Amino acid sequence: MLFDDHFTMVLCMTITMLASFFFSMCLILLFPGFYAASLLIGLWIGWRFGTLLKHPAPLNGVFNGLMGGAMGTMLGAVLQNPALCRIPVESAAAIDLYTIPFAAACFHACILLSIRYSLRM
């Protein structure tokens, strides 16, 4: 192992939640009808990162992967149709479809860089 046991849960929670959130949001924006596929991708990401770590991490990874997949699916659906959250039509034009995914990609890169930095310490 490259790191101690106290980093295991934090690393598993952070990377699985963020990666499954980002990939499921992008998948819903690209293919609007594939809700189950984005949840399955979130589950797979959580399982994959969880099995790289020690014993309690796979369950935590699967849970956080499903949670991130569900959140990304919901945000992608709301970005495509703001009326789902009863956002008025006047403010729907102010929501740019690509601003939030770009911000999520930047946030994903920052988190990955901070995890890489913490593993070097």
Residue 1 within a domain: no
Scored b (16 or more CB within 10 A) or e, 92-120 reads eeeeeeeebbeebeeebeebeeebeeeee
- Of residues 6 and 73, more confidently modeled: 73
pLDDT bucket at 82, cuts 50 / 70 / 90:
confident
How many domains are there within the chain?
1
- Note whether residue 48 is domain-resident: yes
CB 72 within 8 A of CB 38: yes
Q: Does residue 69 fall inside a structural domain? A: yes
Query: Quick one: pLDDT band at residue 20, thresholds 50, 70, 90?
Result: very high
Residues 117, 78: Cα–Cα separation, whole Å:
34
Residue 28 pLDDT > 70, yes or no? Answer: yes
**pLDDT tens for each residue of 40-68:** 999 999 888 888 777 777 888 899 999 99
The fraction of the chain above a pLDDT of 90, given in percent, is 18
Q: What pTM was estimated for this model as a whole?
A: 0.78
The pLDDT score that the predictor gives to residue 24 is 92
Q: Residue 41 domain-assigned?
A: yes
Taking each helix axis as running N to C, give the angle between helix 6-30 and helix 35-52, from 0 to 180 degrees, rounded to the nearest 10.
160
| Residue 44: predicted pLDDT | 92
